[in-house]
Structure 1
Amino acid sequence: MTTVQVNGLEIAYDRVGEGPPVVFLHGAGDDARLWQPQREALADEFTVVAWDEPGAGRSSDLPGSFGLADYASCLAAVVESLRLGPAHIAGLSWGGTLALEFYRRYADLTTTLILADTYAGWKGSLPAEEVRARVEGARRTLAAPPGAFDPAVPGLFAGEPPAAYVPLLDAMAAAVRPETLRTQLALMAGTDQRDLLPAVSVPTLLVWGEEDVRSPLAVARQFRDAIPQAELVVIPGAGHVSSLERPEAFNRAVRGFCRAHS
């Protein structure tokens, strides 16, 4: 584990391998451990970095009024601490929204974008009634007493969670901080990044689970049509967390794309 200090916050990240840097951003309710299959598979060719975003894993708690710009500045400090120049920035779900915000503010640190099963913010990708339903569901979850608090979200996988990763998923769920989820809920519900998509000028890989019900393929096609240099890879038999459900296909897509653009 490596740490970097940003405005009084300690940001932790894992770094393995040698080669062009690929920085992975986990989803809400997850931490750097989500990217275990990618660290194991891609470190033979790349410097693989997986951060614990502020408010998750081994990183500091979120301060009050923390916004997308603050997340982006913390990520910039991580990328700069690698001393390897611009990086491939890969984000899943909420992490993809952060990746887009990072690109908006730090395009000079971005070699490519890899956006997996993600959103241009919920407001920018989902119908208003769906956003309202998600907000209400999340508020009920967050209002539960500590002993009954369960951050698990239905529909993350096309089938049952992969048995090999169930202990990992349980460990990440047990470490979720409710205050972090409250902040992320407000940000996702209010964020609309559709204005940014046509301005993305770096090669962009879209990786989507064919059976994703959280961010359906219709969202992937909106990204593909809006981003000038976007290519879409659809992974059969995968839901929202395609990186864990079908890691071989996910890693193959990422490896080929990063190799082509490094």
Structure 2
Amino acid sequence: METVEVDGLRIAYQRVGHGPPLVLFHGAGEDSRIWRRQLEGLSDDFTVFAWDAPGCGQSDDPTLGFSAEEFGAVAAGFLRAAVPENPYILGLSWGSMLALELYRGYPEIPASLVLASAYAGWAGSLPPEEVERRYAQVLAEIDLPPEKFVEEWLPTLFTDKADPAVVAEASGIMAGVRPAGMRALLSASGRADYRPVLPTITVPTLLLYGADDQRSPLYVAHELHRQIPGSRLSVIPDVGHLAQMEAPDAFNTEVRNFLRGIAAG
């Protein structure tokens, strides 16, 4: 792991490969380890950066009341400190909300967006009662030992056809979740609505989903596709929310082909 300091926070990240920079933003309850197959599989074409968000992995915990705008500012500061040029941004789940927050505040930074298993914020994509159910569930779980709730998350993240070793790997990563990190992510993003950002996006954008995603269903994908001008929607059959783990070859191929197309002009 390498580190940089951004706004007083030590931010840890992995960097591998050579080529144009591709930056990976993980989801809630995760860290950069969730991207192992992308760090391995895409580093032949790209310099791949995978950060640990504030409160996750080996990065410092944010302060109490850390806002969505502050997450966006730290992400922008990280990119300026660690990445040599305008990067391709890939955000997964909560990381897709962070990518939209980054674009909202700093539209000059991303060269393109890949929004995987994405939302326009929970409040921007889900019915109000589902937003409140999820918010209350995570709030109740924050101070519990991770083994008390991670096993309940897993069936909503993978299909029943997923390799048990992959599911176990994800479980081990999520077992490292920290209350301070989850509290900050929930407070900043639990009721976020990024629908106003979507029609302002002018960079090439790929929406990448698993066909059987329970957490961000395909109706969410189609609505983002409708609202983001010129966006492309790709659906990977027979996989769930953590498509980058369940079907890494298909996921990496979609990302690689999209970014190669941008580079080819």
TM over 0.5: yes
Write the letter of the residue equivalent to 2:213. D
Write the letter of the residue equivalent to 1:133. R
Q: Is the 8 A contact 1:118 1:215 kept in 2?
A: yes
Q: Please give the secondary structure, in 2, of the residue aligned with 1:110.
A: coil
Counterpart residue number, 2:157:
156
Once the two structures are TM-superposed, the CA of residue 104 in structure 1 deviates from its matched residue by 1.1
Where does the alignment leave 5 or more consecutive residues of structure 1 unmatched?
none
Provide the rounded CA distance (Å) in 1 between the counterparts of 2:53 and 2:143.
23
Q: Please give the secondary structure, in 2, of the residue aligned with 1:222.
A: helix
Q: Please give the secondary structure, in 2, of the residue aligned with 1:234.
A: strand
Q: Is the 8 A contact 1:89 1:111 kept in 2?
A: yes
Instruction: State whether structure 2 residue 193 is matched by structure 1 residue 227.
Output: no
Counterpart residue number, 1:23:
23
Provide the rounded CA distance (Å) in 2 between the counterparts of 1:180 and 1:129.
24
Q: Is the 8 A contact 1:33 1:168 kept in 2?
A: no
Once the two structures are TM-superposed, the CA of residue 83 in structure 1 deviates from its matched residue by 4.6
Q: Please give the secondary structure, in 2, of the residue aligned with 1:261.
A: helix
* 1:54-203 superposed matches below 5 A: 54-142=54-142, 144=144, 146=145, 149-152=148-151, 153=153, 154-203=155-204
Q: TM-score, normalised by structure 2?
A: 0.93
Once the two structures are TM-superposed, the CA of residue 160 in structure 1 deviates from its matched residue by 4.9
1:182-215 CA-to-partner distances (Å, cap 9, x unmatched) read: 2222333321110000000000000000000100
Counterpart residue number, 2:50:
50
1:90-137 CA-to-partner distances (Å, cap 9, x unmatched) read: 011000000011111122111000000111111110000111211222
Q: Please give the secondary structure, in 2, of the residue aligned with 1:66.
A: coil
Q: Please give the secondary structure, in 2, of the residue aligned with 1:169.
A: helix
Once the two structures are TM-superposed, the CA of residue 168 in structure 1 deviates from its matched residue by 2.6
Provide the rounded CA distance (Å) in 1 between the counterparts of 2:252 and 2:199.
26
Call closer, same or farther: CA 1:19–1:125 in 2, change over 3 Å: same
Write the letter of the residue equivalent to 1:196. V
Q: Is the 8 A contact 2:68 2:101 kept in 1?
A: yes
Call closer, same or farther: CA 1:259–1:175 in 2, change over 3 Å: same
Counterpart residue number, 2:39:
39
Q: TM-score, normalised by structure 1?
A: 0.94
Write the letter of the residue equivalent to 2:9. L
Write the letter of the residue equivalent to 2:39. R
Instruction: State whether structure 2 residue 209 is matched by structure 1 residue 208.
Output: yes
Provide the rounded CA distance (Å) in 1 between the counterparts of 2:111 and 2:179.
33
Write the letter of the residue equivalent to 1:76. A
Q: Is the 8 A contact 2:150 2:171 kept in 1?
A: no
Q: Is the 8 A contact 1:29 1:151 kept in 2?
A: no
Q: Is the 8 A contact 2:23 2:89 kept in 1?
A: yes
Counterpart residue number, 2:238:
237
User: Sequence identity, in percent?
Assistant: 44
Provide the rounded CA distance (Å) in 1 between the counterparts of 2:239 and 2:3.
33
Provide the rounded CA distance (Å) in 2 between the counterparts of 1:240 and 1:60.
27
Write the letter of the residue equivalent to 1:150. F
Give the aligned length. Answer: 261
Counterpart residue number, 1:14:
14
1:27-86 CA-to-partner distances (Å, cap 9, x unmatched) read: 000000000000111101100010000000010012112112211222222222345210
Write the letter of the residue equivalent to 1:124. G
